[in-house]
Each structure stands twice: as structure tokens, then as C-alpha cells.
Structure 1
Amino acid sequence: MATPLAAGQTVKISQFSGKPVPRFESLRYSRVNGRIGPSTDHQVAWEYERAGLPVLVIKETRDWAQIRDPDGDEVWVAARMLTDPGHVIVTRETVLRRRAQSGSPGRATLQAGVLAELESCEERWCEVRVGDYRGWVDKPSLWGLNTDSAGL
């Protein structure tokens, strides 16, 4: 498993979780504190208020994970505040299409920053749900995809 990062970046298996690092996960709760270090003794740098927000796990300890958020900020969160990836962020205005092809009719226009529930992925497209809308978005318009997400 790898993530869509710089080519040649080394992926390691964490001795703590047994999962690859780096990897994408999602925030489990609608309120998660991001701290400047891996303990509650460290100051809160960010308070995330968006359950499902995809984050990139870049380092781990037994109980903590250093994450990078979609804006590029890096903080530490308690590992129990994370869950398997289930959401992605739309990175640029794009069309939510009926089928996984460029010429397919659009269902809606998605703005950058929209949080979408990830349904499945194919080679170049991912099926997502945003509110009552479900359709296909091209992968380059999404942030938070592990490269093995084709088998979701």
C-alpha cells in the first residue's frame, strides 16, 4: 500500500499499528484536538471540527499519530481519534458525473473544500456521495486517497 505522495517516498510498516506510514485516515469525531506534541501535556495548536476529514498519518507512537491535514498543517492527535479512511476532500471545482467518463452528464458541480463520502474507485475515477448526490469524480480532483482504494 502506498499513498499519492512524492515519487520514491518510502512507506514503512508501523510497529505500533501494523499499518503503512504514510497513509490516509479520517477524523473519527467532530471535535479533535491537534497538539504540538504527542501527549496531552502539549499545547493544542488546532481544534478540528469536521468528522470524516481525511488526514495523512506521517508518524506514529503507541497512542499518538502525527498528521498532515489538507491545508498542509502538521499536528499530533490521539490515535483513537482516527478511523479508516472513508472520506475525501475535493481539491478544485469539478463536476460530479453520472458515469466514470469525462463526457458523462453532470449531476452537480462540487466546489473545492467539499467533504465527500468515498464509495469506490476505479483506475481514473472515484464514486462519491455528497449529501443526496452520488456520482463520479476524477481522481486528480480528490485528496485523501490511498493508492489501494480501487478495491473499496
Structure 2
Amino acid sequence: MTGLLLAGSVAVAEGPTYVRVSKFSGKEVPRFESLKYNAVNGRAGPSRDHPILWRYERKGLPLLIIKESQNWRRVRDPEGAEVWVHARMLEPGNRAMVQADTVMHREPDAMSPEIARIEATVLVELGSCERGWCRVSAGQYRGHVPARALWGIETSAAAL
């Protein structure tokens, strides 16, 4: 499977630090959602009149919604860039992106047997997170990885 490789250092995910409810969507902000399509434009402002700053070409990529207008969402990507994306280009999801090469373990414990080594930038299906570990699946592999290795999870959920 492409993307499974040797383990290396692990980066820490930067997630939401405070939460409010948006008057536009009725959902919490900040929150993570994923790209709904393979090609999505990120713009300088919340309308099609604003120039395109970035073109995302990765369906399922988790983005942190940090601000909302009626039909637009200001998002932060894993690299830290912030752009406006039309709301219909996003969907709630259970995906996360591996930030740095890491090891998937059978149980949520570093001493547990290794199942696979996952390369940075691989998208994984996200299960529950607790005590600093998240259950994930990547291809045919299912196991646990350190929460700090993932972009796209609520940091408060990973701490429980």
C-alpha cells in the first residue's frame, strides 16, 4: 500500500483551543471538516470575486474551520495556510491526516505490537480517541496511533 513506510519523529497537532456556536451553520467553531471534492479553490475572501490563493486537490483532506459567513468558511490547512472555501465544498468527516511518519499499534500503547508504519500525509479513517491515542484504519490496516501524530482531531477528545 502506498504511504506505509518507516516511522520517524512525530509532530504535534494544533487544534481548537476555544469553541463557540456559529450563527450561520449552528455548528461549533472551530471544528474540523473534510474536503468533499478532489478540486477545491481556496480564496482570499468569502466570495467568488476574491482571487484564488490555493487549489486543494485532495478529497478527504481535513481542514479546521475557524470562521464562518453565510455560505463561506475560513479554514486552516495542515500547513497553516488560511483561505476561504465555499461551504458546499466541505463535509463533516471522520478523516485525519498523519503529520509525520508514525507507527500503528495493535493497542493504544507504545509497547503493543506494531501493525504498520504510516508515512506522513496519509489520510486515515478516524475512530475514537482517548488518553492520547486514536483508533484509525488505513487500507486493510486497523489499529492505534498517537493522537499527536494526527491533523484533524479535536485535541480535547484525544486527551480523554
Q: How far did 1:30 drift?
A: 1.2
Following the alignment from structure 1 to structure 2, what is the Cα–Cα distance between the partners of residues 115 and 138?
15
Residue in structure 1 matched with residue 68 of structure 2 by the alignment: 60
Residue in structure 1 matched with residue 111 of structure 2 by the alignment: 103
Two-structure CA RMSD over aligned residues (Å): 1.6
Following the alignment from structure 2 to structure 1, what is the Cα–Cα distance between the partners of residues 71 and 78?
22
Give TM-score scaled by structure 2 length.
Answer: 0.84
For the pair 1:92 / 2:100, whether they are aligned, the reply is yes
Which residue, out of 136, 139, 145, partners 1:131?
A: 139
Runs of 4+ deviating beyond 3 Å: 147-150
Bigger relative CO (Cα 8 Å, ≥ 6 apart): 2
| Structure 2 portions without partners, runs of 5+ | 1-13
Aligned length: 145
Q: How far did 1:81 drift?
A: 0.9
Q: How far did 1:19 drift?
A: 1.0
Residue in structure 1 matched with residue 15 of structure 2 by the alignment: 4
Following the alignment from structure 2 to structure 1, what is the Cα–Cα distance between the partners of residues 155 and 91?
17
Higher alpha-carbon deviation: 116-125 or 92-101: 116-125
Following the alignment from structure 1 to structure 2, what is the Cα–Cα distance between the partners of residues 52 and 25?
9
Following the alignment from structure 1 to structure 2, what is the Cα–Cα distance between the partners of residues 95 and 137?
6
Higher alpha-carbon deviation: 47-56 or 115-124: 115-124
Following the alignment from structure 2 to structure 1, what is the Cα–Cα distance between the partners of residues 121 and 44?
24
Q: How far did 1:56 drift?
A: 0.5
Post-superposition Cα deviations, 1:97-140, rounded to whole Å, max 9, x if no partner, equal: 11111111111111221111112222221111111211110111
Matched residue SS, 1:85: coil
Residue in structure 1 matched with residue 121 of structure 2 by the alignment: 113
Q: How far did 1:96 drift?
A: 0.6
Higher alpha-carbon deviation: 114-123 or 77-86: 114-123
